Structure 1
């Protein structure tokens, strides 16, 4: 039995009306889920304001309401708790309700624009191979040791995070790796969690539809490191100009990694091909199935983190050589006719440039590089022409198409993407709003040894149009189309 007063520990209280020595059944911030003897936390979201549903929660059996603004009319027998920030309060309450589960394992957060999923997922793979029970909270999936759960957000809400962490405690999980998004930090979803370490990958143009400026986006990421305890490590990529910013105010032990700069963990690419890379990390050579400069950074971060978490150098190198690519991250298929199809999540200008430059550094230039790419609707519009510019400049042919148009007109999105194409590249470009038809067209255009890159959706197995998600798997479609065409 857990009491309201216990789950309010560390919450900054402004006023309390009623009794806090009440046994609580559950906590919710979605009024539709509230039941008898539950606590309802009224959170102000981007779409709705939980304060509008306080009466509904009471009608459904809530015994306590946590809110930023007291309702004009209160109900006798119901406890009302006023707080300054309901999102922050929810995070502390969730941590307390589930028994502070992050303190019972080594939790490592990975933040940055690109590479979060790869680094977190590969660390999960590596520590599993090393014989540990491991947890994963990622964009692609949630893992509680060997049990798989679907992922809904890059960083889930604080109740969901703590619920999974409690499951991990029950399963005997020793390490957990989680993606920490800027939205998650800004909305206090990770507040109250005890982290054993934090990893910064890079910072590029993204989420400026949510954050007011790049500086705000950077500072939100930095806030994660500011909150790390002295017992944790803070590992940052110092080849990124924002890497040192992350370490400025952290109490955690500071470590750096880089390919170009002086750093605690340094790597050089000795060989790079479609079959993998040979890296030299701090005087040790290791072969990895992963490809490209951006993955060299990811592998280096994984190596550094595994050592900081207690693995020996030989263990880290051995398991790195066995790691497989993450679904939708430079995932490739080679057809009978020697056409290479690559599916990648690259949905930011920087990520797209990294993938295209990697392909161009490996290919012989005697073959075509056909890129299929679009931009998501209801998201940062300013990156669209940049994506168009990069795709058309670094490919031999480009097909602009739909990504997840959501509530926007796909053709209007494509027009904005086309706005970044320079005159000398006009002849390379065609636009097909149907993503299915765009992929099939790329397959028809491809000849033996050509390369098709399908960018933007990666691991996603759906396409969202006007609020409806329909089954759509880039990798499945391109591989099946090439088989059908016998190419």
Structure 2
């Protein structure tokens, strides 16, 4: 139980109708979850406007309401607080409700189109191996030191974020690494959090179903760095043309990393094999089991962040050499027939291009590269032909298939992917709607030493069709199918 006036600390308020000395049991933004003496925050969401459910929240026991527009009829005994933006207010209230847990952590946010999950997850792994208690908020999973929780969003809602951060406080966690998505920034889910550092990986074509333009998507990412304090650090990839843009208005201490130009933290790839990378990071050589140029960037971001957080350079290099790949990120198996199957989350044009170029840079060209790929439904449609074009140019054979069609017809998605294939590449492509059958066909087509890339779903263990999720795991599926073909 906490006083309403304490929950409203640092919230920008327009009008208060009623007293703020009353006590609140809990905070909710879903009227169905409201109980006696709770505070209800009316969120104007993409699908539902919470203002329509203020009366329901009061009927369920709410004693206070935070909203952007006061109801015409005010109920006696209920306090109403009008603010300009309830998303922003909820984030600050959530921090206050859980006693501002981010202030008791060394919290680092990772944002960018590609590499967020890998960078955050490997930082968690590195600091755990260094002997610290560590937290992780990622697309793949949430970790409160050694306890794992299921992740539902890249950046959860602000109440969920702060509840996990409070659990980390209770467990004595010192460092926390968090993926910060453009949706999360735009919806102010990270408002009120105290970040010690921010990492920018890169920015490419994605989420234009939500942000509408690339400029808006980029500008939203920048807001994260604009909000960092002068005591924080911002470390950005300046090989990306938007890297320096992210630093323009930040108060944080500025650091850069790059493979292709001068930077505070620089890296050179000495060897790139399926077994790993030999890198020269600043003046030191290091071997890592991670693969490809995109992972060289991730390793460099990790190295820079660990050093900025105070770890010794020699210790960082040792710890990086022990890192293991993240679930669904360039995970691979080799069958008894010497067929290599790679599963990767690549679901954007740039990520798919990076993975295919990595494979092509390592392989001898005496083997075939067979790519299985699709695009998710109810998401940015403009990237579909790009994905088709990239896959068909950089692969020997391509099978287009369903990803998570959601509410769309799989055949419609596949038609839009196929539209990107140039006439000279038509013969390379095949379309099989059923994902399991597509993977099975790739396995049947592959011969010894061939490579199969299954892209798009990575760590996901489900397929979503018309609102229903059924179990589907790419790595599990291809492993089983290759074993069956060996019998």
The answer, yes or no, to whether TM exceeds 0.5 is: yes
For 1:182, the equivalent position in structure 2 comes to: 182
Could you give the per-residue CA deviations for residues 15-70 of structure 1, whole angstroms, max 9, x where no partner exists?
11111111110000011111011000000000100011111100100010110011
Provide the rounded CA distance (Å) in 2 between the counterparts of 1:366 and 1:391: 19
Distance 1:335 1:31 in 2: 52
Aligned mates of 2:28, 2:486 — CA distance in 1:
53
Q: RMSD of the alignment, in Å?
A: 0.6
Separation of aligned partners in 1, 2:317 and 2:481 = 38
Determine if the alignment matches structure 1 residue 195 to structure 2 residue 195: yes
Q: What is residue 121 of structure 2 aligned with on the other side? A: 121
Who is 2:91 aligned against?
A: 91
Equivalent residue for 1:270? 270
Structure 2 residue 167 is matched with structure 1 residue 167: yes
In structure 1, what is the Cα distance between the partners aligned to 2:424 and 2:312?
52
Alignment of structure 1 residues 316-465 onto 2, 5 Å = 316-465=316-465
Q: Using the alignment, how far apart are the partners of 1:446 and 1:284 within structure 2?
A: 40
Q: What secondary structure, in the 3-state scheme, does the structure 2 residue paired with 1:458 have?
A: coil
Deviation at 1:212, TM superposition (A): 2.2
Q: CA deviation at 1:2?
A: 1.2
Cα deviations across residues 319-342 of structure 1 (Å, max 9, x unaligned)? 000000000000001111110000
SS at match of 1:256: strand
Q: Distance in 1 between matches of 2:486 and 2:74?
A: 70
Show structure 2 runs of 5+ residues with no match: none
Q: Are residues 1:68 and 2:74 paired?
A: no
Count of residue pairs brought into register by the alignment: 487
CA distance in 2, matches of 1:282, 1:169: 35
Distance in 2, matches of 1:74 and 1:442, equals: 64
CA apart distance, 1:368 = 0.6
Deviation (angstroms), 1:72: 1.6
Q: Which residue of 2 aligns with 1:23?
A: 23
Deviations 1:425-475 (A, max 9, x none): 000000000011101111111111000000000000000000001100000
Residue 299 of structure 1: aligned partner: 299
> Are 2:273 and 1:255 equivalent residues in the alignment?
no
Q: Name structure 1 gaps, 5 residues minimum.
A: none
Aligned to 1:288: 288
1:133 matched to 2:133: yes
Deviations 1:196-219 (A, max 9, x none): 000000000001111021111111
CA deviations 1:216-263 (Å, max 9, x no partner) are 111100000000001110000000000000000100000000000100
Q: Report the CA distance between 1:71 and its aligned residue.
A: 1.1
Distance in 1, matches of 2:13 and 2:304, equals 41
Counterpart CA distance in 2 for 1:302 and 1:237 is 12
Hey, what's the Cα distance between the residues in 2 that align with 1:313 and 1:7? 42
Aligned to 1:485, the other structure's residue is in SS state helix
In 2, Cα distance between the equivalents of 1:468 and 1:48? 20
Report the Cα offset of residue 304 of structure 1.
Answer: 0.5
TM value normalised by structure 1? 1.00
Distance in 1 (CA, whole Å) between partners of 2:16 and 2:302 is: 46
- State how far apart, in whole Å, the 2-side matches of 1:305 and 1:354 are: 23
Deviations 1:293-336 (A, max 9, x none): 00000000000000000001011000000000000000001111
What is the TM-score of this pair, normalised by structure 2? 1.00
Q: Take 1:30 and 1:478, find their aligned partners in 2: how far apart are those partners?
A: 40
Deviations 1:153-173 (A, max 9, x none): 000000000000000000000
CA distance in 2, matches of 1:417, 1:109: 33
- Correspondence list, 1:212-227, <5 A: 212-227=212-227
SS at match of 1:210: helix
What is the CA-CA distance between 1:75 and the residue it aligns to? Answer: 1.1
1:208 aligns with: 208
Indicate the residue corresponding to 2:154 in structure 1.
Answer: 154
**For residues 121 and 49 of structure 2, what CA distance do their matches in structure 1 show?**
34
Residue 7 (structure 2) pairs with residue 7 (structure 1): yes
